[in-house]
Structure 1
Amino acid sequence: MTATLRDKQQGDGLKQKANDAWMIVSDLDGTLLDHFDYSHDPVDTLLAALETADIPVVLNSSKTSSEMLALRRELKNRHPFICENGSAIVIPRDYFAKIPQGAHSAKDSGDFLILETGTPRDTLVHYLQADAIKHGAPYLAFSQASTAEIVEATGLTTKQAELAQQRRYSEPLLWRGTDAEKVAFRERAREAGLATLQGGRFLHLQGPTDKGQATETLRRCYQQAGRENLSLICAGDSENDLDMLAVADVAVIIRAVDRAAPELQVTPTRQVITSTAEGPLGWREVIGELVFPSNEER
């Protein structure tokens, strides 16, 4: 381990044992992708090296399955992925020798299986409608937004915005009210048995699922397929990544360009590393040093 990485690390040494293999689970926006232009150029060489080394990189995002399928092709990624903040795990049909328990054919695609844990979007929209009657709606909900409004709010292309609207288990809200109104809204949602997660741009309303639960479920799929000794690296940059970071052996917090890094406590079983650089440059910096500590061509 380099001195540079040691300076950034909290906790007592790497959690990878001698006979273990790495599994990497990563957020996208602001982490693997640039916050402003969604570029992944800084990590392309490292992603190729990870693939050659047979180290799975699992994408875990608030994005929809449609968005992630497009990004997965762009990133030349062949592994399972987790969409809509842990609401579904999408697995290539022939990825595991045995179909994971509970998995079924994904809608509109015979090439993938899906493990669903999320709440249907219609249920969330009905909740919002009822809540708005009593308390107002100081936000722009994706279900009410036009494609042009989503493009303006996110910087996505029109095609990307259309994919972002194809949600099944969550409803992103662009908050336009006060912080006090947001706190009250989140408490009402919690009392209704729903969850809210603050991402880089949006407050996400969803069922009682999260990125961490889905990560643990997928890790068990790998273990049941014969990869028992997996050391888990999780990388993220915002509040809605904390549940995922909390289940990691090595939690990698990527510095964001527009807010303070989320805080995560070090435990006897969890190491925490915060990047120096922001976004994908920070991802390359930390993941590269962790997995290929002697490789200077990252």
Structure 2
Amino acid sequence: MTANWACFTDLDGTLLDHDSYDWRPAEPALRALAERSIPVIAITSKTRAEWQALREEIPYLSPLAGCENGAVIVDDRQSPTQLQSLGRPLAELIRVFERVRDQLNVPAIGFHEAKDQSIADWTGLSLDQAALARQREGALPVYWPEHFPGRDAFKEAIAAEGIELLEGGRFMHLANGADKGVALKHLLNQLGSTGTVRSVALGDGGNDDAMLAAADLAVRIPAAHGTARPETVVDVIRAPVPGPAGWNRTMLDLLDRFIPKEP
């Protein structure tokens, strides 16, 4: 191994294009990481089922991952798959969500009750992919109709229940006490048998902040749509363009600067 480094990445809007879900513009950097034996570990809001399907498509992804915003740690390095849940049970998040929604009388929809067609409409996923997105084991994504009032009051009411609500690229996520930063540290410990492992992390959304803050090198991928939110992570590197193209350009630059390939 060239150096004890690991790459942690968000998927939607970061390694995957926000609209097309294409990852191929990042392939030169992914190949360069593979040549340096640097694992690419997804820490994503996607479910384990979604991530496992993506691993069949993207051969560069490590068999380690943090799914559902870090709530579910997955280790596919051996059979059977090893799972570890961090934080509160999903059933508790669902009970709190439904109680707050009913009290405030707002049209928020949790993924546990959404139809596959609705998720496909919200995300651009196929029906089969939407079905995988509904297979939740940890965090709870919530759809909020665009421009509907009361979002801040809903977030405050969820926070009053002692549950963190994270803002992703498309959805709000009720977190169960874990986040992507917790997942990064947990996954680093699983890699640490060969000594200290340094980390580079890439993400675009507010739910990526904890992951970026925990990394040695942090890369903010700009949002493909909407107004840029104020940056909350110190010493973050900003990619020049959104999605996998920005991922690719920034990662190749970081590899040249910090992790050159051995002759």
**Map of 1:36-55 to 2, 5 A cutoff?**
36-55=19-38
Question: Partner of 1:35 in structure 2?
Answer: 18
Structure 2 CA distance for aligned equivalents of residues 264 and 53 of structure 1: 31
- Residue 119 (structure 2) pairs with residue 150 (structure 1): yes
Q: 1:279 to 1:114 in 2, by over 3 A?
A: same
Classify 1:265/1:125 alpha carbon distance in 2 versus 1 (closer, same or farther; 3 Å). Answer: closer
What does residue range 133-148 of structure 1 map to in structure 2 within 5 Å? 133-148=102-117
1:116 & 1:145 partners in 2: Cα distance?
23
Equivalent-residue separation in structure 2 for 1:245 and 1:43 (angstroms) = 19
The residue aligned with 2:204 is: 237
Pairs within 5 Å for 1:135-214? 135-176=104-145, 181-214=150-183
- Tell me what 1:277 maps to: 241
- Choose which of 263, 266, 274 in structure 1 pairs with 2:231: 263
Match of 1:10 in 2: none
The residue number in structure 1 matching 2:42 is 59
1:218 aligned onto 2:187? yes
Deviation at 1:128, TM superposition (A): 2.0
Deviates more, 1:195-204 or 1:127-136: 127-136
Q: Deviations over 1:208-238 (max 9, x none)?
A: 1100011011112212x1232x221110001
**Separation (CA, whole Å) in 2 of partners of 1:37 and 1:177:** 21
2:56 counterpart (55, 73, 77) = 73
- Tell me, what secondary structure is at the counterpart of 1:235? strand
The Cα RMSD (Å) is 2.0
Identity %: 36
1:110-136: CA deviation from partner (whole Å, max 9, x where unpaired): 432122103222222212222233211
Query: Match of 2:74, as an amino acid?
Result: V
**Contact 2:90 2:140 (8 Å CA) reproduced:** yes
Pick from 54, 66, 70: which aligns with 1:82?
66
1:2-53 alpha-carbon deviations (Å, 9 max, x no partner): xxxxxxxxxxxxxxxxx95321100001100000010011012321231231
SS in 2 for 1:80: strand
Alignment partners' CA distance in 2, 1:156 and 1:178? 22
Amino acid at match of 1:284: N
Instruction: Name the structure with the higher strand share.
Output: 1
Q: Which has the larger radius of gyration?
A: 1
Q: Is the CA contact (8 Å cut-off) linking 1:138 and 1:177 kept in structure 2?
A: no
**Equivalent residues of 2:41, 2:62 under 8 A apart:** no
In 2, Cα distance between equivalents of 1:286 and 1:162: 33
Question: What one-letter code is carried by the residue in structure 2 that aligns with 1:50?
Answer: L
Query: Are the equivalent residues in 2 in contact too, given 1:193–1:208 (CA < 8 A)?
Result: no
**What SS does structure 2 have at the residue aligned with 1:276?**
coil
Is the Cα contact below 8 Å between 1:139 and 1:177 reproduced in 2? Answer: no
Q: C-alpha distance in 1, partners of 2:100/2:223?
A: 32
Would the aligned equivalents of 1:198 and 1:238 in 2 still touch at CA under 8 Å? Answer: yes
Q: How far did 1:140 drift?
A: 2.3
The residue number in structure 1 matching 2:254 is 290
Aligned residues: 256
